[in-house]
Structure 1
Amino acid sequence: MTARVTWSRIGLALAGAIVLALGVGWSGAINVAASSGHWPVTQWFLHWVMRNSVETRSALNSPDEVADSTGLISAAGHFAGSCMACHGAPGIRPSPVFQAATPAAPNLAETAPAWTDRQLYWILDHGVKFSGMPAWPARGREDEVRRMVTFVRRQPSMSPAQFRALTGGAAGVAGSPRFEACAGCHGADGRGRGAGDIPILGGQRPEYLLGSLRAYRSGDRASAVMGNAAAQLSDDDIRVLAERFAGMTGLGGLSGSGDRAAERIVAQGLPERQLPACLSCHRPGKPYPVLVGQKASYIAARLRQMRGDGKQVDARQSQATMPVIARRIPDDMIDRLARHLAGVEGDVPR
């Protein structure tokens, strides 16, 4: 005797399976304790699904440029402050608290070589569900993700001394005094430790630094690096840091590179393009940042991000006037203008 397979029987079987699954879930029979770990077959299956997903989606969605070796200081600083507790770092063991998770955060020195740069980019940018690996908290900050890809790629061969050097010796240790933690990237003199992606803070207007730190803390300015650094700052911390960095030497003085076209934009603007002069806003007495003496690489990168060559990263589009102004700057004047404001000659490093 054979049983006939009918649509009604298939429907009843599916309904029974759903009811059974709901009943098991309702009963509490499934053990969700992290202390119990996974069965080996479950561990294998979840990792197999994750790897297949990353390989497919990174091939389809990762940008062509996925690594940037010019910003290892800021990447190392962010890793020390945000990632080290889970993954550890050269010469530093991960926190046992996070190692008690299921799954535990992997040792990147062992696992990173198994992924391509495009795959690392996708994991860092999007995170992985059910693993504790978060997405990059500042959406659209491809520049930060690219720098972190390079840092993670180099970490397996990095010595503890090299890691300490990148973080300025602070190494993002929990409880590090606020200024020392900031100086790990920005330098004890506020000059950014020679890194092109880290701005000079010394001599900046204290009101601007105050507002910037508050905006990073609230999320109004998008940066995973600065957002994490500012998240635990109190109002008093922000005030003290702003005043301390503002009191250093660095910015200000006279700009000049001998470029008359750049000087015209700085002093007069380009009325035919409805481009106002830089000094109409960025001069003493105005509530805008000091640009004279800032790093040329930082100014050029920010202008390109604002004008649409990259992502707008420092202000929400509806609240920003600079993206409109930046788009009116002629393409061939971005680097020249940045050099003139910085007071340097020669090419701007990218």
Structure 2
Amino acid sequence: MTIRLTWKRIVAVLAGLAVAGLLFAWSGVMNIAASSGHWAITDWFLHWTMRNSVKTHAFFDSPEDVIATDGQLVSAAGHFAAACATCHGAPGQRPSPVMQKATPPAPDLTDPALKNKWTDAQLFYILRHGVKFTGMPAWGAAGRDDEIRRMVAFVRRLPTLSPAQYRALTGMATGAGTTGAPALGDNVLAGCVACHGADGRGRGQRDIPVLGGQNPRYLEQALRDYASGTRASAVMANAAATLTAQERRALARHFAALPGLGTAAPAGGDARVRTIVMRGLPERQLPACAGCHAPGKAQPVLAGQRASYLAQRLRQWRHDDATIDARQPQDAMAVIARRIPDDMVEPLARYFAGVEAPRGR
């Protein structure tokens, strides 16, 4: 018997298969319970598909410089401890038994085999975009590739860290009291101290700002903006999300009362730097820095701030393509930073930090 294929028969078969699939889905027969797990072939196919997708998209989507230096791992470690360790485990800390009942369970990132399973670019892609149909979310703030780079570096280091080294990086070993902050509980202040240090000076990390001596109104507003998503940072958004208005105010006052910023005048700048600070560059529509950041102004105190942090923030604003004008106060710096000459970013940062320029420049 010969069956003649025609377009009508092919369409009819395809339509029948589609209807059968819809009826199967409508019936509820398929078991979607996580406790049932996957068939071995299903598990293999899903992971095979995911790995191929990551390899392909990471090739086109990930930047070349995807990993940060060891000197910037504290903020990534703190974020990992707060947001990731529950699912992925950590040195000396097993993953949550509850989260391991997910299908699929999150991989143990302390496993040395991770080094050969994913490249840096592929890890960057997974961290930036997350993975559908799993518990792996996309990064919590758009445009913060600097945070993702630091997390890639930390995940790479994770399998080699001892429990003591992990606790030191995450700040768990430092401890934190509530002296001077009676409205705060130990856990609230400890979460901040883990990255910013008990003295508010950022534990010497190049990417963490000095908070001691900062304008308390600015610090409180920053916490509010991080919590609402107005200001982009996955690390700080996670830290600020659960703070009450009273806790934000108490934290701002606590760190502002510590010594640090504003205790010494900026220094080290040449005539061009001082011109930008005091008068701006009218021909580039660049206002003077002192117009907003002088003592007593509402904007943050810059004198004594870490030079590496200031330069990093200016570069982030300069590449903020989403902001084309300054209709909102929080947008102003993205516009202003793009008007600063390229060769003045580092000198300006060093000037406010009070750091002399390297010899030979």
**Can you give the 5+ residue segments of structure 1 that lack an aligned partner in the other structure?**
none
- Candidates 214, 234, 237, aligned match of 2:224: 214
For residues 171 and 57 of structure 1, the distance between their equivalents in structure 2, rounded to whole angstroms, comes to: 40
Letter in 2 for 1:159: S
For residues 152 and 177 of structure 1, the distance between their equivalents in structure 2, rounded to whole angstroms, comes to: 25
For residues 7 and 317 of structure 2, the distance between their equivalents in structure 1, rounded to whole angstroms, comes to: 59
**Can you give the 5+ residue segments of structure 2 that lack an aligned partner in the other structure?**
176-184
| Alignment pair present for 1:131 and 2:134 | yes
Where does residue 66 of structure 1 map in the other structure?
66
For residues 127 and 286 of structure 1, the distance between their equivalents in structure 2, rounded to whole angstroms, comes to: 41
Q: What is the CA deviation profile of residues 66-96 of structure 1, one whole-angstrom value per residue up to 9, with x for unaligned ones? A: 1112420010011011101100111111111
For residues 288 and 103 of structure 2, the distance between their equivalents in structure 1, rounded to whole angstroms, comes to: 57
Letter in 1 for 2:28: G
Question: How far 1:264 moved relative to its partner?
Answer: 2.3
Where does residue 155 of structure 1 map in the other structure?
158
For residues 289 and 118 of structure 1, the distance between their equivalents in structure 2, rounded to whole angstroms, comes to: 35
**Equivalent pair of 2:62/2:124 in contact (CA under 8 Å):** yes
Where does residue 349 of structure 2 map in the other structure?
338
Q: What is the CA deviation profile of residues 202-250 of structure 1, one whole-angstrom value per residue up to 9, with x for unaligned ones? A: 1000100010000000000010000000011111110110110011011
For residues 199 and 103 of structure 2, the distance between their equivalents in structure 1, rounded to whole angstroms, comes to: 43
For residues 345 and 201 of structure 1, the distance between their equivalents in structure 2, rounded to whole angstroms, comes to: 22
Q: What is the CA deviation profile of residues 73-120 of structure 1, one whole-angstrom value per residue up to 9, with x for unaligned ones? A: 010011011101100111111111111100000101225221000100
Letter in 1 for 2:131: V
Where does residue 110 of structure 2 map in the other structure?
109
For residues 135 and 62 of structure 1, the distance between their equivalents in structure 2, rounded to whole angstroms, comes to: 14
Where does residue 284 of structure 2 map in the other structure?
273
TM-score, with structure 1 as normaliser: 0.94
Where does residue 239 of structure 1 map in the other structure?
249
**Equivalent pair of 2:196/2:202 in contact (CA under 8 Å):** yes
**Equivalent pair of 2:130/2:139 in contact (CA under 8 Å):** yes
**Equivalent pair of 2:72/2:150 in contact (CA under 8 Å):** yes
Where does residue 180 of structure 2 map in the other structure?
none
Question: How far 1:322 moved relative to its partner?
Answer: 1.4
For residues 174 and 39 of structure 2, the distance between their equivalents in structure 1, rounded to whole angstroms, comes to: 36
**Equivalent pair of 1:59/1:118 in contact (CA under 8 Å):** yes
Where does residue 90 of structure 1 map in the other structure?
91
Runs of 4+ in structure 1 displaced over 3 angstroms? 311-318
Change (3 A) 1:122 1:290: same
Where does residue 179 of structure 2 map in the other structure?
none
**Equivalent pair of 1:266/1:278 in contact (CA under 8 Å):** yes
Change (3 A) 1:318 1:77: farther
- Candidates 201, 206, 222, aligned match of 1:191: 201
Letter in 2 for 1:117: D
After TM superposition, the structure 1 = structure 2 runs for residues 140-151 of structure 1, keeping only pairs within 5 Å, are 140-151=143-154
Where does residue 79 of structure 1 map in the other structure?
80
> The residue matched to 2:84 in structure 1 has which SS?
helix
Q: What is the CA deviation profile of residues 272-316 of structure 1, one whole-angstrom value per residue up to 9, with x for unaligned ones? A: 3332221111022221000010000011111111122xx479999
Worse-matched range after superposition: 267-276 or 203-212:
267-276
Letter in 1 for 2:271: R
Change (3 A) 1:65 1:229: same
Question: How far 1:254 moved relative to its partner?
Answer: 0.9
> The residue matched to 1:281 in structure 2 has which SS?
helix
**Equivalent pair of 1:215/1:221 in contact (CA under 8 Å):** yes
Change (3 A) 1:178 1:229: same
TM-score, with structure 2 as normaliser: 0.91
